[in-house]
Every structure is written in structure tokens, then in C-alpha cells.
Amino acid sequence: MTDKLLLAGVIGDPIAHSRSPRLHGHWLERYGIEGHYVPLHVTRERLHDTLRLLPELGFSGINVTIPHKEAVLQIADSVTDRAALIGAANTLTFTASGKLQADNTDGVGFLENIKQYTHDWSASEGPALVLGAGGAARAVVSALLTEGCPQIYLVNRTRARADALRENFGARIVVVDWTRIPDVLGDCALLVNTTSLGMVGKQPLHIDLDRLNPQTVVNDIVYTPLRTELLDEAQARGCHTVDGLGMLLHQAAPGFERWFGVKPEVDDRLRRVVLAK
């Protein structure tokens, strides 16, 4: 036990809807840790000064959400390889001398979630089909490649963004047009939606799943709603499906461990707490 008051939080704009305070708050209570995790509304204009001030105020670290995930890389004193590769950070840790280390745990959060809800899934089993080419897709692609995924078919509305990922991540990425999804779907061991389609308030995700193989694991990183149409339709076709909430929970764990010193459990209790109205 330490005398130091342990402080961490999340910065973003907007921030009121973030579920991170509830999530970390639950872990703090569960492990009896004397600490606080607070939401901080920080605009772009205030980002630099805020990040310099937080360690002086006693913060151990901070999560970063929209719209600051890319900008913090320019401010950080050091950036992990995976954050550099993804081009964004979600977890910042302040060293004892106030230096700012930027990391990205979205990719490991994605992998841990799938591993938790499948028996013997491994990224190296076969090709993956990834829908989307935004920040979340970069984290997913980076994690899958690191884990030995042999090929990633990448589909995006704006093809140039998918091409940019291929430039970055190399020849295991194959950019596929939206209309050609049926041609590659049958081959895939994994299908992941990283777009915002299917989220409450957004347009539905419509893809032709006729050739979806029942052996394919299907994951949607959208978690509002928890059961998306994609997951329901895939399940009806006999596929194993994994919802997106676990990615949010698992991406939070490394930060909590670094800042508060306990490796936290991601379990059904935590899911219920985060889902509660």
C-alpha cells in the first residue's frame, strides 16, 4: 500500500457518455484501491497544456478518446511500436519524471475479447475479412497481423483509406470492393465489422452473408446494440459470434494495471455494471 493518492481518468470531447469511469470505478471498488478515475472534458485547444499539467496534479495516467487519439502521439515523449503502427493512442502513462508514454491497447482488447468467447480460436487459422478502414480497423488489423493472420481482406466504402492501410501494413492486406464480399467470404476464419454501421442511430450494415461458412467466427465491434443484426444473422447461419463490449472492457485492463497496480478481471459482473442503465 502507498500513501500516494492514485489518480487516472479519460480525456475526450465529448466525454459525458464515456463508460470508462464506471468500468474503472467498479475495479477500484472491487479491489479496494484508494484511487479515483475521472472523466475530463478536454478540447483540442487545451490538449497539450492539459497533458503537461496532469502529471503535476498527481495523475498516473489517462485514457484518450475521440477526438484526441491521433493528436496525443505528437505530444507524447515516447510511443510504443503498436501505437505508432496504429497511428493512434488510447492509453497514456506518466513516468515518475512526468514524461508521457503513449500506447494503444485497442488491438489487444479486440484479441482478448475474441479469445475469451471462443474455445481455441487463433488468428493464424485462416484469412480474416475486416469491414472498415478507420482507427478501429487499424487496431484490429495490426493485432491480427501480429498474431499471425495469413491474410486480411479489407473492405471499405472509401477505397483510398483501405489502400492506405495496405501501404502501411503490407502485402498480407488485400483490398476488396464491397460488392466482392461474397467472393472471399467463404474462405474466412473470421469476419469483423469495425465500421459504425449497425450502431444505434446509424445506418444498418447490409452485406450478403449467403456464402458465410458456419465455421467462421463473427465479431462486431459495435456494442450499442449489444446484439447487432450482423451477429444475429451470423448466429442464425450457425456461426460463433462475439459481441463488441468485451473489446471495450479488455482495452481498459492494461491501463488499470499500470496505474493502479492490479491486473483486473474482465468478467460477467463487469459486463453487467457497464451495461446497467
Nearest CA-CA partner of 86 in 66, 68, 70, 67: 70
Residue nearest to ligand ATR according to CB distances in the complex: 134
Q: Which residue has the cell 493512434?
A: 88
Catalytic residue among 4, 69, 115, 202: 69
Q: In terms of C-beta density within 10 A (0-12 exposed, 13-18 middle, 19 or more buried), how is residue 264 classed?
A: buried
Span from 44-52, 150-158, 228-236, 246-254 in contact with ligand ATR (CB under 6 A) = 150-158
60 or 142: CB nearest ligand ATR: 142
Is residue 115 among the annotated active site residues?
no
Residue 134 near ligand ATR by CB under 6 A: yes
Residue 166 near ligand ATR by CB under 6 A: no
Query: Least distance in Å: CB of 196 to ligand ATR?
Result: 5
Spatial separation of the C-alpha atoms in residues 125 and 155, rounded to whole Å: 20
Residue 212 near ligand ATR by CB under 6 A: no
Q: Using CB under 6 A, which of 136, 189, 222, 247 touches ligand ATR?
A: 136
Interface mask toward ligand ATR for 189-208; x: CB under 6 A: -----xxxx-----x-----
C-alpha dihedral (157, 177, 129, 268), degrees to nearest 10: 20
The footprint of ligand ATR on residues 24-83 (CB under 6 A) is none
Return the DSSP state at 123: G
Ramachandran angles phi, psi of 36, nearest 5°: -135, 145
Spatial separation of the C-alpha atoms in residues 182 and 186, rounded to whole Å: 7
Look up residue 146 and give its three cell numbers.
Answer: 501480429
Nearest CA-CA partner of 64 in 35, 93, 36: 93
160 or 276: CB nearest ligand ATR: 160
Q: Using CB under 6 A, which of 156, 228, 241, 251 touches ligand ATR?
A: 156
- Which residues are tagged catalytic? 69
